[in-house]
Chains A and B, each alone.
Chain A
């Protein structure tokens, strides 16, 4: 079995003159969780769609599970699980009926499907809701059902487009637990997210993109080490700084000033000179994200 479940080389997608994805290279290894980060309109969703056969590539190479998504779509989709951004469940019927119908699309025999459905209801803690109609479910329950639905065919690769957007923290954490559990069992995960905490919690490796291009990729820790000093102090932009001591980098974003340094001590000394209380913390993915994608406000998709 090849070590890479997805391989993309110089992958591009153009709609007329607009390049949604522009010469992207990356590889997703078997068993890892790989995340796409980027502002709205960066090309993450288009990239996902190319992987799950919704969007033929304009140029470059793409192999998913050793198959060509443009030519071997059915064989490939038979082995993928996809959780799209919108919940697209059948609202008028029950949770169990939704799963039964969906298992038919994969050609699962009735008996096998019934067993699988019970297991997945249990796995996503939906057993009590099995008979409920979709329109009676909260957003969190719907999302869990969509994830359960994507697991009916025991996919090798589970693709999730913003899996926890709009959900409350409890549901978000539950979903993270389940995704980590799936990963432990050998399911490879590919996700897009706007939540840096989600990326931090789940992703082994990240690809940060903007305007269709890759800005950086690698392990979250390495990326942060490569692009930012390890500590940061945040101030309101209204605060006047006399002079920045050597070794401290200054960055501005909207109404905040960010001071980066190699050691917390440097920042503590600086904070001592300013009146008030400022938190000094290790840099996080959010800092990295803002640094890489720049300070412009992005148009939403």
Chain B
């Protein structure tokens, strides 16, 4: 019987980083596959409902915004909001549950996986979902005639990166909260305002100067700004900055967020 063979000994090779990350990714994919549809349906549908309501009720009385028709202006923001909410929810409440109730990470941590492997694997999984959800919303908006440029094909990548950023913020929240009710501060106090004031519904320069300056540097402005340039094909002077911000921010935040989880698990 091989099951009770002599132990393997020190010769057993350690898995590579890529293998470890893909194993964690597979865990989440396999475990959440069964209820994937029910969990993702409304994440994709909500921005569509939002646009429908605004289109019927509001868009007719706003002739243009930022040089675009109003729906084309707000559509890119709603594409990113799908990625933001899925990652921010699942890596705050979800991670907290996996850690405190189900003790999933404890079982992963007694393998060659380290704390940062576990959370990078999880971030990449939510990045994938972010790419998928932003694609879903984008596809509907494209049928609606709200996508004006083939550059929009790059939007899933922005969705991926934005989900990494907001997943990382979720991890910081997990590190900070004392009990689960405090996630309300994170969702209602941090995430929701970001989805309103990051150039999603109106250009940030309509805000008071100091607020506008802050909004410009907060984590959602540049992904939305970049997405709008991609869906409209109208690139503004600050596109290199938006691109750089969107590309770099998730990895910086992720680096610190994954490390921040260490004291929660290793004591």
Chain A interface residues toward B at CB < 8 A: 15, 52-56, 65-66, 73-75, 77-80, 82, 84, 86, 88-93, 97, 100-102, 104-107, 115-116, 119-120, 122-123, 149-151, 153-156, 181-182, 184-187
16 contacts between A and B (CB under 8 A): A53-B109, A53-B266, A54-B109, A54-B110, A54-B266, A55-B267, A74-B113, A74-B114, A79-B7, A84-B107, A88-B102, A104-B19, A105-B23, A119-B3, A154-B7, A182-B4
> 6 new A-B pairs (CB below 8 Å) besides A116-B2, A182-B4?
A53-B110, A73-B114, A74-B14, A74-B112, A105-B108, A151-B3
Interface residues on B, range: 35 or more
Known: A84-B106, A84-B107, A86-B106. A101 touches B16 (CB 8 A): no
Q: Mark B92-123, 1 if CB is under 8 A from A, else 0.
A: 00000000001110111111111000000000
Known: A105-B113, A107-B23. A185 touches B5 (CB 8 A): yes
What chain A residues lie within 8 Å of B3 (beta carbons)?
Answer: 116, 119-120, 122-123, 151
Is the CB–CB distance between B30 and A79 below 8 Å?
no
A33 to chain B, nearest CB (A): 14
Chain B interface residues toward A at CB < 8 A: 1-10, 12-16, 19-20, 22-24, 26-27, 30-32, 34-35, 102-104, 106-114, 265-267
What chain B residues lie within 8 Å of A89 (beta carbons)?
Answer: 107
Is the CB–CB distance between B4 and A185 below 8 Å?
yes
What chain B residues lie within 8 Å of A115 (beta carbons)?
Answer: 2
A46 to chain B, nearest CB (A): 9
Is the CB–CB distance between B31 and A75 below 8 Å?
no
What chain B residues lie within 8 Å of A120 (beta carbons)?
Answer: 3
Measured between alpha carbons, how far is A115 from B5 in the docked complex, in Å? 13
What chain A residues lie within 8 Å of B6 (beta carbons)?
Answer: 154, 185-186
Known: A105-B23, A107-B13. A79 touches B8 (CB 8 A): yes
What chain A residues lie within 8 Å of B4 (beta carbons)?
Answer: 123, 181-182, 184-185, 187
What chain B residues lie within 8 Å of A97 (beta carbons)?
Answer: 30
Is the CB–CB distance between B15 and A107 below 8 Å?
yes
